[in-house]
């Protein structure tokens, strides 16, 4: 492949946002007929690079060459005319229109009397057939298709635009295994037709299954371009987080420095569960310990967190706090017992966009006091000052509307909101999602410091590496049940958790096979 000319060549790309250099002198090459994965932690600059290539962001420095020609891309339509199509994590089609129209929108075939619908639908069918979707009726409404198939329709759309470059940004995050396989079949077919495919996914297995080459970014910088077979997972992760493997090991060891005390657990649940959300789980949480919840998307991490907090009412099991039986069935009861949850959905369930940093920060304290007893302004200011300083919120302006802060700083304010309620048990659901690397490291350090101070912390992240680094103990979830509980420290890595999950899946398959045999015999 690399013998031919690259279809996309990005040279010396730099993009700055206020206060952050999102991309710093990054290079990227994409060849026809290859699947190329862009790798990096959250905030490494993957999405910025993609947005530069699709014309959403203007580049400050550097050059983008498409098929050897320097191009300035001013927007989605511009990128499309340059032959670059993008399929996003969320399906971006119009569900009020038919499948055929969605495939052909903007490229309808015109006849003497305007759009020739018969020819347009025929062209849509041909395009769908090329991707193995010939069974779909182009005249059927898009809304009747499952999400995964809609994703494939979005890909066939880019084929109509005669795209030479297809960008797939986290296309698999809401697909199940069969659907992923279906998607991969389509991707391979396109690759064989000479389309250059840029693939982004946080599932390492998928990256290794589909990619020919990898480009790794870290902190907005180019770390290297590799053939997939010459870079094993451990080295990939090491490159992504910028530590050699030996240092990683020592970091792991450092993370497990906290020793669990012998005192009884702060929180102990026996068989709590909720129908449709998570099956019965036993869980103990100790003071001074970070417990990580690991698992894939939809494995029940958030559901378990909500159950502990009482945001959803458990329909089985019992809970003891410091050995006493407790009923935690509403968030108010949880707050009263010093349990706090910071939601994964920062935008909708976390910050209140138009309120100031101060107002957002005192919200939970105020809620616990009740509206009849407003928190005196002096106490508010003292609280806000304390947490802005402790968490390093920037800019340190309590009266600034929170929507003007970066994601990382918003997250710090939210952390402050819950810390201000003086919790004994703090549940953090995806506290580092979508924030830049610097803020992420600060939050990780702060969480560790909180545990050192004797707080019980539950830490949830979709990045397994992060869970491994942060946690003293890890509860592994899969398909809405607990499949393992492991001590952090030596020998535990993201890979070992992936192995646990994969083995469990294999177990399922074997069990299925046994059942099938029993049925047939």
Partner 1 sequence: MSTLTSPSAEAAPTGIRALAKRVTPQLDTLPTAAAVVIFVGMIVYGEAAYGRIVQFNTLSNLLINNAHLVILAVGLTFVIVTGGIDLSVGAVIAISSVAGVMLINAGWNPWLAMLLMVLIGTAFGTVSGILIQYFHVQPFIATLAMMFLGRGLASMLSTEPERVPDDSPLRSLGEQLKIYDGPKVNDIVLTPGVLIAAAVVAAAFFMLHRTRTGRTVYAIGGSEQSAALMGLPVAKTKMSVYIISGSLAGLAAVVYTARLGSAQNITGIGWELDAIAATVIGGTLLTGGAGFVLGSVVGALVLGLMNVLITRDGGIPPEATTIITGGILLVFVLLQRAVLARRRE
Q: In the set 5, 115, 441, 449, which binds partner 1 (CB under 8 A)?
A: 115
Confirm or reject binding of residue 277 to partner 1 (CB under 8 A).
no
Helical ranges in 370-431 per DSSP H: 377-391, 407-419
How many H helices and E strands in the chain?
Answer: 17, 22
3 state DSSP class of 439: helix
Q: Phi-psi category of 271—alpha, beta or left, where left has phi over 0 and alpha has psi -120 to 50?
A: left
| Residue carrying the six token digits 């407003």 | 374
3-state helix, strand and coil shares in percent for the chain, rounded to the nearest 5: 40, 25, 35
* Candidates 170-178, 260-268, 383-391, 452-460; binding stretch for partner 1 (CB under 8 A): 170-178
Q: Which of 71, 88, 375, 424 binds partner 1 (CB under 8 A)?
A: 88
| Contact region with partner 1 (CB under 8 A), list: 14-22, 76-84, 418-426, 430-438 | 76-84
Nearer to partner 1, 444 or 461 (CB): 461
| Residues between 466 and 505 with contacts to partner 1, criterion CB under 8 A | 478-479, 498, 501-502, 505
Q: Environment class of residue 30 by beta-carbon count within 10 Å: exposed (0-12), middle (13-18) or buried (19+)?
A: buried
Q: Residue from 42, 47, 48, 80 that binds partner 1 (CB under 8 A)?
A: 80
The span of 353-361, 374-382, 430-438, 506-514 binding partner 1 (CB under 8 A) equals: 506-514
181 binds partner 1 (CB under 8 A): yes
CA distance 22 to 199: 20
Residues 209-228 that bind partner 1 (CB under 8 A): 209
Q: Which residues pair with 111 in a beta bridge?
A: 114
Task: Identify the three-state secondary structure at position 274.
Answer: strand
Cross-strand partners of 473: 291, 487
Q: How far is the CB of 401 from partner 1 (least distance, A)?
A: 18
Nearer to partner 1, 139 or 403 (CB): 139
Q: Which of 122, 210, 198 is nearest to 160 (CA)?
A: 122
Length of the chain: 521
Q: Which is nearer to partner 1, 114 or 376 (CB)?
A: 114
Name the segment binding partner 1 (CB under 8 A); options: 180-188, 220-228, 326-334, 452-460: 180-188
Q: Which is nearer to partner 1, 18 or 114 (CB)?
A: 114
513 binds partner 1, rule: CB under 8 A: no
Identified binder of partner 1 from the candidate list 1, 77, 396, 515, rule CB under 8 A: 77
d(CA 433, CA 9): 29
Ramachandran region, residue 165 (left: φ > 0; alpha: ψ -120 to 50; beta: rest): beta
Angle subtended by helix axes 407-419 and 357-369, to nearest 10: 30
Q: Which of 245, 251, 336, 506 binds partner 1 (CB under 8 A)?
A: 506
User: CA 215, CA 362: separation in Å to the nearest integer?
Assistant: 43
Lookup: tokens for 125: 């069918």
Q: Work out whether 188 is an interface residue with partner 1 (CB under 8 A).
A: no
For partner 1, which residue of 113, 259, 372, 519 counts as binding (CB under 8 A)?
Answer: 113
Q: Which stretch binds partner 1 (CB under 8 A): 74-82, 242-250, 386-394, 402-410?
A: 74-82
Tokens linked to 336: 């009263």
Residue nearer to partner 1 on the CB measure, 213 or 478:
478
Contact track, partner 1, 339-378, x by CB under 8 A: ----------------------------------------
Both tokens of 18, joined, read: 């206020």
Which single residue is written with the structure tokens 């952050």?
Answer: 20
* 332 interacts with partner 1 by CB under 8 A: no
- Distance of closest approach, residue 465 Cβ to partner 1, in angstroms: 16
Of the two residues 142 and 486, which places its CB atom closer to partner 1 in the complex? 142
Binding test (CB under 8 A) with partner 1, winner from 11, 67, 105, 277: 105
* Lookup result for tokens 């929507």: 403
Q: Select 131 or 311, whichever has its Cβ closest to partner 1.
A: 131
Is 515 among the residues that bind partner 1 (CB under 8 A)?
no
SS3 annotation, 93-157: CCCCCEHHHHHHCCCCCEECCEECHHHHHHHHHHHHHHCCCCCCCCCCEHHHCCHHHHHHHHHHH
Q: What six digits make up the tokens of 86? A: 């993008």
Q: Which is nearer to partner 1, 33 or 298 (CB)?
A: 298
For partner 1, give the closer residue by CB, 123 or 501.
501
Task: Check if the beta carbon of residue 474 is closer than 8 Å to that of residue 451.
Answer: no
Determine the Cα–Cα distance for residues 278 and 286; give it in Å rounded to an integer: 22
CB 15 within 8 A of CB 191: no
Q: Which of 24, 25, 126, 137 binds partner 1 (CB under 8 A)?
A: 137
Residues lying near partner 1 in the complex (CB under 8 A) = 76-77, 79-81, 86, 88, 92-98, 101, 105-106, 108, 113-115, 137, 139-141, 143-144, 146, 157, 161, 176-178, 180-181, 184, 203, 205-206, 208-209, 296, 298, 478-479, 498, 501-502, 505-506, 508-509, 512
């Amino acid at each position: 492949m690399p013998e031919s000319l690259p279809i996309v060549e990005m040279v010396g790309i730099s993009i700055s946002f206020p206060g952050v250099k999102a991309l710093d002198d990054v290079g990227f090459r994409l060849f026809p007929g290859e699947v190329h994965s862009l790798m990096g932690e959250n905030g490494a600059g993957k999405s910025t690079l993609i947005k530069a290539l699709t014309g959403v962001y203007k580049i400050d420095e550097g050059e983008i060459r498409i098929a050897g020609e320097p191009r300035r891309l001013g927007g989605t339509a511009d990128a499309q005319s340059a032959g670059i199509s993008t399929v996003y994590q969320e399906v971006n089609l119009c569900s009020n229109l038919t499948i055929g129209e969605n495939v052909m929108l903007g490229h309808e075939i015109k006849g003497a009397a305007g759009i020739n619908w018969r020819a347009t639908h025929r062209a849509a069918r041909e395009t769908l057939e090329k991707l193995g979707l010939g069974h779909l009726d182009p005249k059927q409404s898009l809304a009747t298709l499952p999400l995964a198939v809609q994703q494939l329709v979005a890909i066939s759309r880019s084929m109509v635009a005669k795209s030479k470059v297809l960008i797939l940004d986290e296309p698999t995050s809401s697909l199940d295994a069969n659907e992923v396989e279906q998607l991969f079949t389509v991707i391979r077919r396109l690759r064989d037709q000479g389309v250059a495919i840029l693939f982004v996914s946080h599932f390492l297995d998928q990256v290794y299954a589909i990619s020919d080459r990898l480009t790794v970014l870290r902190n907005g910088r180019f770390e290297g371009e590799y053939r997939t077979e010459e870079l094993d997972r451990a080295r990939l992760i090491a490159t992504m987080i910028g530590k050699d493997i030996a240092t990683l090991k020592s970091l792991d060891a450092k993370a497990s420095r906290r020793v669990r005390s012998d005192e009884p657990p702060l929180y102990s649940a026996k068989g709590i569960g909720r129908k449709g959300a998570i099956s019965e789980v036993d869980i103990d949480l100790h003071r001074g310990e970070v417990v990580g919840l690991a698992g894939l998307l939809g494995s029940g991490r958030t559901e378990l967190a909500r159950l502990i907090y009482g945001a959803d009412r458990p329909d089985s099991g019992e809970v003891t706090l410091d050995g006493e039986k407790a009923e935690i069935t509403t968030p108010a009861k949880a707050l009263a017992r010093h349990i706090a949850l910071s939601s994964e959905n920062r935008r909708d369930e976390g910050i209140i966009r138009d309120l100031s940093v101060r107002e957002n920060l005192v919200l939970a304290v105020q809620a616990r006091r009740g509206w009849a007893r407003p928190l005196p302004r002096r106490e508010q200011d003292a609280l806000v000052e304390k947490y802005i300083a402790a968490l390093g919120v920037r800019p340190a302006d309590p009266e600034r509307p929170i929507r003007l802060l970066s994601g990382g700083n918003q997250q710090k304010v939210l952390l402050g909101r819950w810390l201000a309620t003086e919790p004994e048990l703090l549940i953090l659901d995806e506290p580092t999602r979508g924030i830049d690397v610097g803020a992420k490291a600060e939050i990780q350090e702060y969480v560790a410091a909180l545990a050192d101070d004797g707080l019980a912390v539950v830490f949830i992240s979709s990045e397994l590496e992060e869970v491994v680094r942060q946690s003293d103990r890890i509860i592994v979830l899969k398909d809405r049940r607990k499949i393992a509980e492991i001590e952090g420290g030596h020998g535990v890595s993201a890979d070992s958790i992936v192995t646990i999950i994969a083995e469990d899946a294999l177990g399922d398959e074997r069990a299925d096979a046994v059942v099938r045999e029993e049925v047939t015999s």
